[in-house]
Structure 1
Amino acid sequence: MSIRSFAVRAIVAGTVAAAAVVGLTGPASAAPAPAPILHTFFTGPLLPVLGQNAFCNGVIDTLVETDPTRPGLATVVLTSRGMHGVGPEWAANPVCRIKADIVWGLGVLAGQAKTVELNFGERPGESVRTEINPGPGVTGLTIQATFINPYVNELRPQYSLPVGAYAIIP
């Protein structure tokens, strides 16, 4: 047996073994994963807020998840890093109430906005998940706790810097 035929047999055996391993592992599961995202504001994925109870304040992490088995839909996850307040009002009720507005695509003009009520305490890690339907492709996305309701003339005693981004939705 020559070296050439030995090398060919070894390569063929290695290729067959690799194909068998790849074939036996099966397809990858399509679990929800963070969407590819480009943040357009200097705060990045962080939402610093001033809430509605006793000058409560803190930072909220934002994340956009997509699931390949559900095209055109995305899940926005808002996770608290812990809220803090001052005075006897905070001591009596240590919950920071925030109404966050999530706007995508054409925004309020096209009905592509959603208000999410958040009630976060001092413990970090609490999260709220909400689903939006921006459709497949690239979409503009803004998350903010604004002092004016985008739907009606409601004033809210709260404020935040926005999270602005472009996300790719499968």
Structure 2
Amino acid sequence: MSSENAVETLQRSLRDLMRQNNRAGRVVVAVDALDPEAAERFAGGFQRAIAEEGTAVFPVPVADAAPEVRERLVAPFRAGEPFGSGDVAPADAVLVVSGRFLHAPEVRGLWNFSIWLESNPPIGAPRPELPDAEKQYLRTVRPKAAASVIVENSDPAHPVQVFGDFC
């Protein structure tokens, strides 16, 4: 049995998957979930996996796909100008944005790579009623179909990549 834990293994696997199409340059990643705290925790692990390869990485949690994400974060990050709290990214860097509603049409095109965190209640447990905004988001935006990767994160200590069949 490996001494490496399931979370680290998955994070490294996702980092390698991201790198298949984004070898260098300033890369922007979204970690989207209905639970913004879960998205931020998962993004923290993903950030550590990226940092392991020696790449500068900047984690930024946002509130509900904030409209200023493009102007305040992504555009200046990509241009090598001060962004967010005044950081300036080197030529090879990754910006990891975490939060809710990050696959909404107005921000979807900003990401080079995106992760959708799915969280389901235990088998047999009732599914909680979602607020209308979340139901609308799942129904109209379909983040599972929009994301580069789907991760089942009901047990954050043992997340699993899900391979959706959208045929």
TM band (smaller chain): under 0.3
The structure where strand makes up a greater share of residues is: 1
Q: TM-score, normalised by structure 2?
A: 0.24
Q: TM-score, normalised by structure 1?
A: 0.24
The structure where helix makes up a greater share of residues is: 2
- Structure with max Cα Rg: 1
